[in-house]
Structure 1
């Protein structure tokens, strides 16, 4: 398994664990390998296959969500700066950035934070400052690190995501027979959107009227808030 595949599987496991918690079910899961779905689920004396897929509100190109790609690139920049800062300090921070993260001024962030000598402050101490004319920084001394770009956490919420969800079902249904040959007839689908990011801000009001295309059950998880059984 490549590093990218390992990260993807780790993220899927996290999403599945959160879904199990919200559904309040007794599922015990183990990862599957192709041609099966993502996971084998054991529940009491029964078992079934479960495939996961993520959906987004914005433009989807042949290589995926453009918004998600931008968010990922932005977070990689932030993670690099966080690692540089922690080379010289173990003080954990919440760092929220607002503005143009591609500005050259962003490179000054680790040094500015180190010069603030944050180790002398108690948890909860708050600061805000600018890095040039286009980037604002909000810093809180914290118990855990949390660095991110506020631009990628905001944005409008799509209130009618049914076409997006149905399209995800249709695409995964193309592999349903393959999954069933691997694990049996009972195969289910968990569709999720990460509402903490701008790219995943979908809000489903009615969990009805979906064509499950042969899946035994389909769930839509608006992480971290709600999960719906679309069956």
Structure 2
């Protein structure tokens, strides 16, 4: 239940940001199938939201996003151990191997750096056996795996169309709630798994949706209408 509530809050935030990019004001009523009923100056519609990632998908979803989540949790565990021992907040940017050995080394080097005696925001670099890290004392924690953030941008729109195809199978169910049904497809470009860019002049097959929005988060949104 907690995860579902968190997901709904995330969807609400994304929908409001999408409306802002479109220059519109949306009043959003959360529900299921579709995710929201929307009231706007131009009318009402149902809005379904889905994520779009590049690369292969398995039973659990995007394999690349699954790897990114694993790496995030790995770094989070190191952060929790560090903060338990020091009560210090630092900014860490890491690039390198993700393993128990690499994590143990990173934690030990960060502990040895004695950030409490260092000037705030003054960055140091750590040359590790299994990678490299840059760190500084800060008012708030921020730990990032750079290898999951600095990849190339794909323009393979089959990944975008794949999400439309999947949601179109439920279109009749969505129309039970509202005749005008729109799909918001979100590619989170903060992560490599969401680095997807529309080619010039591209138009997807809407497969019956009244509109499909492609939100290249957090940069821009493209609209396609039936």
Query: TM-score, length-normalised on structure 2?
Result: 0.89
Q: Which residue of 1 aligns with 2:172?
A: 177
* Structure 1: segments with no counterpart, 5+ residues: none
Residue 134 of structure 1 corresponds to 130
Distance 2:182 2:201 in 1: 16
The corresponding residue for 2:160 is 165
1:62 aligns with 2:59: yes
Q: In structure 2, what is the equivalent of residue 187 of structure 1?
A: 181
- Could you tell me how far apart the structure 1 residues matched to 2:139 and 2:24 are? 32
Q: Deviations over 1:146-202 (max 9, x none)?
A: 21211111222112x322222211211110110110x21011100011111111110
Show the counterpart of 1:18: 17
Partner SS, residue 178 of structure 1: helix
Aligned length: 225
- Change in 2 beyond 3 A, CA 1:26/1:197: same
CA-to-aligned-CA distance 1:198-224 (integer Å, 9 cap, x gap) = 111101133643221221211001111
In 1, the alpha carbon distance for the partners of 2:120 and 2:30 equals: 39
**CA 1:148 to 1:48, structure 2 compared with 1: closer, same or farther past 3 Å?**
same
Aligned with residue 212 of structure 2, among 218, 223, 227? 218
- Does 1:145 pair with 2:141? yes
TM-score of the superposition, structure 1-length normalised? 0.88
- Partners of 1:127 and 1:115 lie apart in 2 by 12
Q: Is the contact made by 1:207 and 1:229 (CA closer than 8 Å) also made in structure 2?
A: no
Q: Which residue of 1 aligns with 2:26?
A: 27
* 1:83-102 matches, cutoff 5 A: 83-102=80-99
Q: Distance in 2 between matches of 1:89 and 1:20?
A: 43
Aligned-pair CA distance for 1:90: 4.2
Gaps of 5+ in 2: none
1:120 alignment partner in structure 2: 117
State the distance in 2 between where 1:188 and 1:65 align. 23
1:10/1:108 CA distance change after superposition, 3 Å: farther
